[in-house]
Amino acid sequence: MDSLETYIQMGGQYHPLVDLAVTHYQFETVHPCADGNGRLGRILIVLQLCAEGYLSQPYLYPSAYFNRNKQEYVEKMRSVSETGDWHDWIAFFIDGIEVQARDSYERTQRLMELRRDYEQRYPHQKTSHRLARGVFDMPYFTATDVQDEFDVSRQTAYNAIEELVSDGVLVEATGKQRNQEYKAIDIFDILERRPDH
């Protein structure tokens, strides 16, 4: 781990994305923790991309690609260990970063379009309109959250929620009669849809 840490801090001799593939492989091979190595290794990918200036914020989710292609992910790393096949591993890794970057960009564009749509559909200052525009910061919430966020009465919060449920913007997510929670349907559709790749 000391050698890997030194390599990361000094910067490798290859293009930063190639170095990232190398360091990810090495981290997963060293397997330094009793549990959570995969998650930690993927978080490190994002942090290194931020450190290298490829990301301004940690918006990339490489786990989605690696989980969708888990067998290939394991096989490519095993091939490095068994036969020294760095080429296929690095190509696979960089393809994964590209696919996830495109996916993140497309989701962001869809969210921005949805925000513009909501801003046009709900331009007024009444609570339901403010809530519709606010679901981007609060996509999952309770009536109490609405009360606190907009400083309104419980009845006003419920009225705003009911209006947006009727409009198809929100849906009750628990199926319970009490302690209900609501989610912004369109936002979750964008966030949870299967990627195109």
The pair of three-digit structure tokens given for residue 72, joined into one six-digit string: 């290939």
pLDDT level of residue 129 (50, 70, 90 thresholds): very high
Instruction: Output 119 or 37, whichever has higher pLDDT.
Output: 119
Sketch out the chain's domains with CATH numbers.
2-106 (1.10.3290.10), 122-192 (1.10.10.10)
Q: What is the pLDDT of residues 23-42, one digit of tens each?
A: 999 999 887 676 777 788 88
pLDDT of residue 163: 98
Is pLDDT above 80 for 90?
A: yes
Share of the chain above pLDDT 70, in %: 94
pTM value surpassing 0.95:
no
The separation between CA 135 and the C-alpha centre of its own chain, rounded to angstroms, equals: 17
What is the arithmetic mean of pLDDT over 5-12? 70
**Are 106 and 179 in contact, with CB atoms under 8 Å apart?**
no
Distances (CA, A) of 70 to 38, 52, 74: 11, 26, 6
pLDDT of residue 14: 81
Distance, CA of 25 to CA of 81 (rounded, Å): 9
Distance, CA of 143 to CA of 155 (rounded, Å): 9
